[in-house]
Structure 1
């Protein structure tokens, strides 16, 4: 294994031979982005002098990441909070698991086709469409809680999957493109933490409504109204997103955006992306990375009281903040090569997850032998039974943050990030659909899902070692920019100076 890591890194030149660094199709990579290179770096002195402060703040990469993170807080985080209630807070989790399985099935379908869609309509409008669908899930649980109807819960899962799929593809492309190359780990940590802070707020709402002991059945109806209100807040923040080509990073660079392809060419890119070595090698990791969600939510619903679930969903995100930013600092270490950082990050994530899985399996085996009943927070068994759930809410997000950092390490332009993000999200959703589908079976113990999660992680390790060994020393998009700037410097000795970047943020064509 160590020998594999010590082999020479691949060619990091933008036109190199390594297929993980190429568009993997007939579209010439350099031709598709060359028109955008003249606008790739901003004259920051002129930019600060000629552009109003409010516009500079709005176009700044950190502001845009914050806007996306707020949407993640309002949408996916609230969905996680509902799942964190254990079956949506229902007396039994089967109905909720059915709705969630359908949601992720539809999400996977939309993500599969999402690359062409988002690249045609743009990241901003894809985020707007997705944000409009967020309140559907919360309202379906509200109607189920208040009126007892099941059909809207199932329909809501399907509709949410369609809208959220569109949003997920746009989000993945944006978060992998926006960050400056030297701060990707911390930017991604900020995004992951925002999602988990949403679960913290959801847990606080749930606990405030369900703190009395011996409460049976689902959570109060008012809890779901609070979730719906928060989910509605994502839409105005989606309208504030700046198109990727207008974003200015903190290091003065812009995002490389290639020419818009025809619909036919975009559809052809689906198969090329899905069969690229980058996606093939990360596919098992994608299936595994969110698999824990359905299994450990069912674990929580099966063995814990309503108020214990509420407390669990409140305190679970705290350690995630420390863990994600800790991994972010590792991935952003300035004096360590990108390939070595990828290696360290991989084994950090694997070792932490393995420890949590072993602990969880031990607890589950004990519960199968001696049924603990409904564990409350004043039970002596609560700490040891809850801690596996607590830690998996950190180790799970770490695996996602790491993978998006790794995918962005191979980026050639923003459209490639969208396509790669869509493919990875599609496989993630398939894993989640399988996990929730498994847990719709009343006879299925959480032990089965835990063992499957462990097996998937083990199966993912080999291909991931191969992929990490291909990690380029520099992001290909940065190499393209550096080579272009070097060419400009040489040309300026013989000819006139190149045109400056338009200060209004519009790119040249």
Structure 2
């Protein structure tokens, strides 16, 4: 834990409840427990970005011509890149309720813009809605990152990240079923029907309401009686200065390649694998398994990162190694799949009832598995760099901002019809470059839990003090 983490814990001591105030820790299922709060933010993301992922995974936003969706996503990720970085500071100023609710509401508008496009074929509304969604997504994901990485106990962050990722991606699973069921008999249809977009909007609206159930960090208490953090909300000037410092922070610079790569491959996988190889109803079915694979991948890598070895640093090394080996195998399979077709030589679209469906389906499933493992690994490393939500909200915001800048470029790469084989090679290369840099970050910045206490005895005393408060 760094100096910033120490400051947050000291704040806990200063703000400790007095008199008869009690921090009940009798059940991990109590409302103010990290487990319940991480579950709630998972449900919020189930409804909003989970459904957005299902919509995007259809290829072209469910339209036959992906141009409108590509341009909307470029606008989305351009503003997301800005507000992803600013989002951590905004979260620290406004707190969870305003930040999360404002972010979630923009998802409803985005889905509605494609309902409009289904009838009028005008891109302007979709592009404007995409730009607004980028602002909202920056706010939502900065808050989510702070909650997911700061609320859990330090030695169980991988488990809680897996829990969040599983709930969140269940949204993609359910969201994949919506177009599959509603368009099942439309085997020759080019675009999804209106009911598909309306279904997405209903879930997204529910997520906006649910965001008000999230507690601020100073009200969340771990099972051992310690608070997650208990500091006053920051000021605009403080956050502006802290955000600028991120661009000179060597820890964040080492994460940049992984951040850039982590959403760069979506346009290729959604439009040029799922969108080009399968018919409409099969694309919906594929998304059920793509996002289901994410649940499996996050649980698997979460176990490795929390339980494989006693040493936290060793768990980090093993986790990166597992993802690197699996990633090499999956992208190698993707290369074999990609060679037979190009933009000028498109394959016949497959239906899930055909035998030839199996091979490309397994590849698409594997892409989902790798995505979850890769991003869960990066979130675990970010969570190991600090313990307080203010610092981690900035780190998470920086990660999402760089990630979104990469995605904005990727969607335009696809719009300009860059050769499919070139897109695959770039995606493979970006993820591969990130692995040695993440290993270096673990070597230099991630400490074993016992060493953190030995090097910061004040934190150990504060923890003990907080335990006394809870008893």
Give me the TM-score of the superposition, normalised by structure 2.
Answer: 0.91
| Equivalent in 391, 416, 428 of residue 403 of structure 2 | 428
Q: CA deviation at 1:102?
A: 0.9
Distance 1:163 1:430 in 2: 15
The answer as to 2:304 corresponding to 1:330 is yes
Q: Secondary structure at the match of 1:367?
A: coil
Question: What does residue 118 of structure 1 align with?
Answer: 91
Distance 1:42 1:60 in 2: 20
Question: What does residue 102 of structure 1 align with?
Answer: 75
Q: CA deviation at 1:469?
A: 1.2
Unaligned runs of 5+ in 2: none
Q: CA deviation at 1:401?
A: 0.9
The answer as to 2:210 corresponding to 1:234 is no
Distance 1:293 1:477, change over 3 A: farther
Question: What does residue 506 of structure 1 align with?
Answer: none
| Equivalent in 399, 402, 405 of residue 380 of structure 2 | 405
| Structure number with bigger Rg | 1
Distance 1:397 1:349, change over 3 A: same
Q: CA deviation at 1:197?
A: 0.9
Deviations 1:104-131 (A, max 9, x none): 1111111122222111111332112112
Question: What does residue 85 of structure 1 align with?
Answer: 58
Q: CA deviation at 1:412?
A: 4.4
Question: What does residue 468 of structure 1 align with?
Answer: 442
Distance 2:326 2:470 in 1: 47
Give me the TM-score of the superposition, normalised by structure 1.
Answer: 0.85
Distance 1:108 1:57 in 2: 36
Distance 1:237 1:192 in 2: 17
Distance 1:261 1:110 in 2: 17
Distance 1:268 1:456 in 2: 30
Question: What does residue 7 of structure 1 align with?
Answer: none
Q: CA deviation at 1:39?
A: 5.5
Q: CA deviation at 1:154?
A: 0.9
Question: What does residue 340 of structure 2 align with?
Answer: 366
Q: Secondary structure at the match of 2:265?
A: helix
Q: CA deviation at 1:407?
A: 0.7
Q: Secondary structure at the match of 2:41?
A: helix
Deviations 1:2-35 (A, max 9, x none): xxxxxxxxxxxx5xxxxxx455xxxxx7556523
Task: Out of 448-457 and 29-38, give the one that drifted further.
Answer: 29-38
1:73–1:196: 8 Å Cα contact kept in structure 2? yes
Q: CA deviation at 1:319?
A: 3.0
RMSD: 2.9
1:42–1:254: 8 Å Cα contact kept in structure 2? no
1:93–1:301: 8 Å Cα contact kept in structure 2? no
Distance 1:305 1:42 in 2: 63
Distance 1:350 1:189 in 2: 19
Distance 1:56 1:193, change over 3 A: closer
Deviations 1:452-493 (A, max 9, x none): 11111122123222112122112998678863444797xxxx
| Equivalent in 317, 320, 326 of residue 294 of structure 2 | 320
Distance 1:32 1:180 in 2: 15
| Equivalent in 413, 418, 422 of residue 444 of structure 1 | 418
Distance 1:432 1:502, change over 3 A: same
Distance 1:469 1:450 in 2: 30
2:107–2:204: 8 Å Cα contact kept in structure 1? yes
2:23–2:221: 8 Å Cα contact kept in structure 1? no
Distance 2:351 2:248 in 1: 48
Distance 1:250 1:303, change over 3 A: same
Q: CA deviation at 1:164?
A: 1.4
1:205–1:223: 8 Å Cα contact kept in structure 2? yes
Q: Secondary structure at the match of 1:384?
A: helix
Distance 1:353 1:400 in 2: 12
Question: What does residue 279 of structure 1 align with?
Answer: 252
Question: What does residue 3 of structure 1 align with?
Answer: none
The answer as to 2:458 corresponding to 1:483 is yes
1:201–1:314: 8 Å Cα contact kept in structure 2? yes
The answer as to 2:325 corresponding to 1:345 is no
Distance 1:361 1:402 in 2: 24
Task: Out of 374-383 and 428-437, give the one that drifted further.
Answer: 374-383
Task: Out of 134-143 and 34-43, give the one that drifted further.
Answer: 34-43
Distance 1:229 1:476, change over 3 A: farther
Deviations 1:347-404 (A, max 9, x none): 1111111211111111111123964222222333211122221111111111111111
| Equivalent in 301, 314, 319 of residue 275 of structure 2 | 301
Aligned counterparts, 1:363-402, within 5 A: 363-368=337-342, 371-402=346-377
Distance 1:398 1:42 in 2: 43
Q: CA deviation at 1:310?
A: 1.5
Distance 1:174 1:476, change over 3 A: farther
Distance 2:388 2:459 in 1: 14
Q: CA deviation at 1:334?
A: 7.3
1:41–1:254: 8 Å Cα contact kept in structure 2? no
Distance 1:478 1:248 in 2: 20
Deviations 1:58-82 (A, max 9, x none): 1111110111001110111111100
